[in-house]
Structure 1
Amino acid sequence: MIAVALLLLISTVNALPEGAPTKACETLIPNHRGIPPQTGKAPYEITPIPQEDHVLVTVKSNLDFPIGGIILHARMPDGRIGGVFEPIEDDVHTITCDNPHDTITHNDPSPKPSVAVKWRPPSGYEGPIIFNSTVCQNFATCWVGIKSEPIQILAGGNIPNTIKTSTIRTSTSPHYTPQEETTRHIQFDSFYDGCDDTKKCFGAPDGCVATQNCKVVAAITVVSDRYQIELKSQSAKWAGLGLSTDATMGDDSVVECVNEGNGVKAYLSWTIPRPNLGVFRVANQEGIKLVNHSLIDDTLYCKVLRDAKTRVNNVDFDLINNKYHLLVAAGKRIKDKSVGFHDIDYLPSATSGYLSDTGKVVGASKLLVRLHGAFMLAAWIGTASVGTLLARYYRKTWVGKTICGKDLWFAWHRFFMICTWALTTVAFILIFVFLKGWSGETSNPHAILGCVVTALCFLQPIGAFFRPHPGTPKRAIFNWLHWLGGNAAHILAIVTIFFAVKLNKADLPEWFDYILAAFVAFHVVMHLVLSILGCASENSSNQRISSFPMKDMGGSGKISDHMVNVDAPYSWTRKLLLSIYVLVCGGFVIALIVVVVLAPKAS
């Protein structure tokens, strides 16, 4: 028995003699001769206490269990180890896992009632930190992956005096599985703390504050007799918050946060209404003060104090007694003494309100934009595609059958093209009602091409109304012009839709292009199949059929008697292909309209 006791004593004394090795940095699992760690709840807790310029981190047991060995470091949400430790007592020292002094371990395995160290965040870091540790009571009894409550590091490396938790999961390492079924989660972005509760927040796209994924966001807090404005945007050269008496840009006071390359600056600006839409910085920059800023991982942030009462471009702004619409915007380009177009995002608030009021702020409706897109898709992917297919390949199908005295193919062709004209006209009007002028996204040709398509769409029915009678000399000219105008409008319309995906206001995802490309491929394949079928039909009957309107461009009007009231060969095959085309084309239209209406890029 004495010998056994001595062996146990020796093993305890020799356990963890010089601290954890660096090979334990990644997993925090001690290599104690294959002895597995404990699986139950750890009797130790890690407590981070924010101080003026550091965090005091204490590890101890509420059950007064001693600490024999320890390894402790701080992890960021992406799993990286960060910060610098400074021992307070002589029972621990620092080691290097990723960076010098980023991890703490014990000096010797003697029992310690607790371990207390100082920790300072990485330079310029903003976000959450969780402290992770493995604590060994002795050589054979260790608990792996003990976590602290998360602590938020603010912009500029400031340490808040409170600790917060939220609902995004983090892990100690890729190899560690938390031993508890219910674990603490952390919030990756402290900017949204207090939104709609203690501060007024508004971001774009609409609804992004709730999901914390805004492309540009502003937060307003009353601080004494001033208003604190925080702005944040990803991949931006500038972000701005405008105060407007209406929901449209023009004659508005704007606070800009600008990355000028040599630092982040804040300015007061003024927007110019249409038709000369733009922005300029006012001469008098009094009334605002930049108090904090950062540029981390391509994310622009600034905090500005604005006086409650300011005079901007000879207009008085009283933030206490007046209500204002909020305008948030961000862009990737800046000009000399100005900012570029808001090509990241732009959104006005639906209603005006006091800046001191908290609660959810809703963006102005984009219903007219959604309807514009839906109507154009229904017109040019749907009705125009079916209408042109009928005119090109179905003149000798359903021969002898009429509607209101018109051949069946022609009646349906006219119906679908009238629908195309009506949908295009309404969509064209809606977008101008929404914009109240020309599009500001001048680098994108969508607006110009859309106007060309609309003009061609108007000319087609006018030309058809004055078409010469079959057999007259000018009928051939009409046939060519009508064919050219219709095909040009259809092709340009689809190209225009592709450009719409890049529009900021459309909120369409990049994968929208793939659906459009799939439709184009299907459309081309169907035309190819019907063309081949037309050739086979012509060879089979040894007669000239009218499946190809281009072959009748001469306009003589002379048709052999044996062709009258006779369907061309393979009529049922063409009918089957038409049914397939209409069904698939309808499916594409529905899918595309659903994407436009739901605008998944905005969610």
Structure 2
Amino acid sequence: MRVVLVSLLVVSVTCLPQGAPPTVCQTLMPFHGGGISPQGGIPPYSIIPRRQGGRVAITVTSSLGIPFQGFLLQGRTPRREILGEFDQTTTQDGHTIQCGEPADSLTHNNPGEKNSLDVIWTPPDGYEGPIVFNATIAQSYDTFWVGVESPPVDISRRSVINDPSFNIPRQPPTTTPHYARPIAKQSSTEFDPFYSGCAVTKLCFGAPDNCVINKSCKSAVAVTVSGDRYEFELKADNAAWVGVGLSDDDKMGDDSVIECVTRNNRVDAYMSWTSGPPNSYGAARLSNPQLGIQLLNGSVVDGVLYCKIRRDAYTNVNGKVFDLINEKYNLLIASGSSATASSVSFHDLSFLASAQKQSLSDVSALAAASKLLVRLHGCFMLAAWLGTASVGILLARYYRQTWVGNQLCGKDMWFAWHRTFMILTWALTTVAFVLIFVELKAWSAEKNPHAILGTVTTILCFIQPIGAYFRPHPGTSTRPVFNWLHWLIGNSAHIIAIVTLFFAVRLTKAELPDFVDWILVAYVVVHVISHLVLSVLNCTAEKSSERRVTSFPMKDLGASGRNSGYNDRSPDAPFSNVRKGLLAVYILIIIAIVIALIVITALAPIEETWTTLKSTVMDNN
């Protein structure tokens, strides 16, 4: 009798050594211990499908590093039909069983601990449509999850049965558990299951603009609606958090936000509320941060943060009702590089708002809100401070005795062009400053000194022509004071403006590539070398001539008499032709640099724009 009892006890605490039997094919419910219930809540395991050619590679793993002992894995259609064929030769941990057709399900070989499972699945000939991989995963005999689902994968008509370019290394036989190996990052986004069904069965929106088409989003949201069930999928690359906001406009402020945050090897979901102007921008979590949401799945695989969240169709957030069934909303998608236990940081990795409101059940593509004013702001500032200001300053400093005797509108040539370029600088800067405040309607929320330095530059630029208009007449005692102030304010504004442009490269809204820094460095080198060469020419000219060349040297700033550089009417100074040639070369280089930066700014993010253009050309061909 004791032998029988011991035998029954052993059977009741050990996972089935030969895997799941065909009797559980439809329900996926194991009969452990005479009826042990499956675990509730979010499973610590993820099923990650990756498509290539006519087959799908599947990885079962835990982002928390929790091993599992048993499993039963199947591919199913939206109608819950089991289909396809697993290749059991691609894994040492499982074998196939027949639930409907041969090899349409895969189960474990033994109850040993497994840190991951890699296997290849092949759809039947001629099948087209979405596939979801379902599994029962047993951490131990009495701890298991039923109905663990993968993201859907779209299957097109199979053209390659045995794709030689795709091969998952077989796991070598081992008597001890192996460590979970990292999932190889795919060289192409073609196999990212997140985008499967976009604009067909779910609404997708991501940053930067058009990234859903290219499957290259830094952050993205997908909304699937089934009756009154609203499920949000969020993903972001190399981010600490990703969030989606429901808004009445395309600006941040008074919005309901779902955050997906990773900390300490956990993925958590929270509900938060954004503030807006006149207060500083920010997202504060609700006192009940799980209000109306339920985290269904979360993982961090190969640096990609992913979560799936179900949100109630009706929620009352901060006294505002969000009715997902009857109302339309703008979508705001964002991601950031850091988060704390109580809040997320600024969205320093990505941010994008949709251009118009849309029902979440409408799966048609969402256009991004226009960034025209931001782009114009950047283009105008580049034209002003790299272009017109640079040339205007050079003319005033080194070309006062060039084109002597030639006048434009009754003024010396150098002065007429200097004034023209500086008026253009003033106008471009003023318009750019107004445009960015029209766009933001508030102070910038980014922790970047660009906004402060840009404001200082604009103030200095604004007062410079006003001071010049009221400049004292040559020969008066206050003229030297004006000369020094005019020189100091002008050069200070120019230097601060260049520093401001360097900081602009790091702005999230600018979306500029890092190599823009090197283009700005090239400008600085050209500008400094030009000043040095022209200064050497002026010193040489002074030694080769009995009269002094007036090139606006520092000592002339204190001149107050009529014989100062402002009124010198002597012929062109020595090396005048050389200076003219250098000016022509300088202007050509500056024009090239300014045009390049304006094009990059207008098309930003230029990497994605180039990818879109290339894809369009290829499609047309």
* Paired amino acid for 2:575: Y
Q: Does 1:372 align with 2:397?
A: no
Specify which of 555, 579, 588 is matched with residue 551 of structure 1. Answer: 555
Once the two structures are superposed, what CA deviation does each residue of 1:371-428 show, in whole Å capped at 9, x if it has no partner? 0000000000000000000000000001111112211100000000000000000000
Q: Distance in 2 between matches of 1:329 and 1:49?
A: 29
CA distance in 1, matches of 2:92, 2:607: 39
1:300 aligns with 2:284: no
Q: 2:403 aligns with which of 394, 398, 409?
A: 398
Cα separation, partners in 2 of 1:299 and 1:565, compared to 1, 3 Å: same
Q: Against the structure 1 CA distance between its residues 152 and 188, is the aligned structure 2 distance closer, same or farther, given a 3 Å change threshold?
A: farther
The TM-score, its normalising length taken from structure 1, stands at 0.74
Within the candidate set 417, 420, 425, 1:415 is matched to 420
Distance 1:427 1:560 in 2: 36
2:534 match: secondary structure: helix
Give the AA of the match of 1:86.
G
The match for 1:533 is 537
Separation in structure 1 between the aligned mates of residue 154 and residue 470 of structure 2, nearest angstrom: 77
Aligned twin of 1:266: 269
**Which stretches in structure 1 are left out of the alignment for 5+ residues?**
1-44, 60-70, 74-82, 90-113, 133-148, 175-184
Residue 53 of structure 1, aligned match among 70, 73, 89 = 73
Give how far 1:86 is off: 2.8
Question: Within 5 A, what are the aligned runs for 1:569-588?
Answer: 569-588=574-593
1:11-160 aligned within 5 A = 52-53=72-73, 57=85, 72-73=89-90, 84-87=92-95, 118=106, 158=149
- 2:483 aligned to 475, 479, 482, which one? 479
Secondary structure in 1 aligned to 2:487?
A: helix
Instruction: Give the structure 2 partner of residue 228 of structure 1.
Output: 231
Quick one: structure 1 residues 570 and 482, their matched pair in 2 at CA, closer, same or farther if it must change by over 3 Å? same
- Equivalent-residue separation in structure 2 for 1:154 and 1:532 (angstroms): 77
The corresponding residue for 1:33 is none
CA distance in structure 1 between the aligned counterparts of 2:463 and 2:210, rounded to whole angstroms: 42
**Which has the larger displacement, 555-564 or 393-402?**
555-564
In the TM superposition, what are the counterparts of 1:299-318 in structure 2 within 5 Å? 299-318=304-323
Query: What is the rounded CA distance, in whole Å, between the counterparts of 1:297 and 1:354 in structure 2?
Result: 33
CA distance in 1, matches of 2:432, 2:392: 19
Q: 1:245 matched to which residue of 2?
A: 248
Cα drift, residue 517 of structure 1:
0.8
- Per the alignment, residue 328 of structure 2 pairs with 323
CA 1:46–1:573: 2 relative to 1, 3 Å: closer
1:453-487: per-residue Cα shift (whole Å, max 9, x none)? Answer: 00110121111112111122211111111111111
Q: Counterpart in 1 of 2:190?
A: 187
Q: What CA distance in whole angstroms lies between the structure 1 residues aligned with 2:377 and 2:369? A: 16
Instruction: Pick the aligned partner of 2:472 from 463, 468, 479.
Output: 468
Relative to structure 1, is the Cα distance of residues 578 and 248 closer, same or farther in structure 2, using a 3 angstrom cutoff?
Answer: same
- Aligned partner of 2:528 in structure 1 is 524
Cα shift at 1:172: 3.9
- Structure 1 residues 540, 349: CA separation in 2 closer, same or farther (over 3 Å shift)? same
Q: 1:46 to 1:458 in 2, by over 3 A?
A: closer
* d(CA) in 2 for partners of 1:368, 1:188: 36
Give SS of 1:530's match. helix
SS in 2 for 1:335: coil
Residue number in structure 1 paired with 2:27: none
Report the alpha carbon displacement of residue 559 of structure 1 after superposing the two structures with TM: 3.1
Amino-acid identity (%): 54
Counterpart CA distance in 2 for 1:131 and 1:321 is: 41
Against the structure 1 CA distance between its residues 474 and 260, is the aligned structure 2 distance closer, same or farther, given a 3 Å change threshold?
A: same
1:564 partnered with 2:572: no
Secondary structure in 1 matching 2:73: coil
Is 387-396 or 186-195 further displaced after alignment? 186-195
Structure 1, residues 35-64: CA drift from partner, whole Å, max 9, x if none? xxxxxxxxxx999999952578567xxxxx
TM-score (norm 2): 0.72
SS in 2 for 1:416: helix
Segments of structure 2 that go 5 or more residues without pairing to the other structure are: 1-53, 60-70, 76-83, 123-128, 138-147, 169-187, 610-621
Residues 557/165 of structure 1: CA separation in 2 closer, same or farther (3 Å cut): farther
Structure 2: which amino acid aligns with 1:249? M
Deviation at 1:298, TM superposition (A): 2.0
2:155 aligned with 1:164, yes or no? yes
| CA RMSD, Structure 1 to Structure 2 (Å) | 3.5
Contact 1:323 1:353 survives alignment (8 Å):
yes
User: How many Å apart are 1:87 and its aligned residue?
Assistant: 4.5
Report if the CA contact (8 A) 2:537-2:575 is conserved: yes
CA–CA separation in structure 2 for the residues paired with 1:161 and 1:208: 19
Deviation at 1:349, TM superposition (A): 0.7
Task: Rate the CA distance shift 1:395–1:359 in 2: closer, same or farther, 3 A.
Answer: same
Mapped partners of 2:224, 2:106: distance in 1: 32
Match of 2:514 in 1: 510
Looking at CA atoms only, which structure, 1 or 2, has the larger radius of gyration? 1
Distance 1:400 1:48, change over 3 A: closer
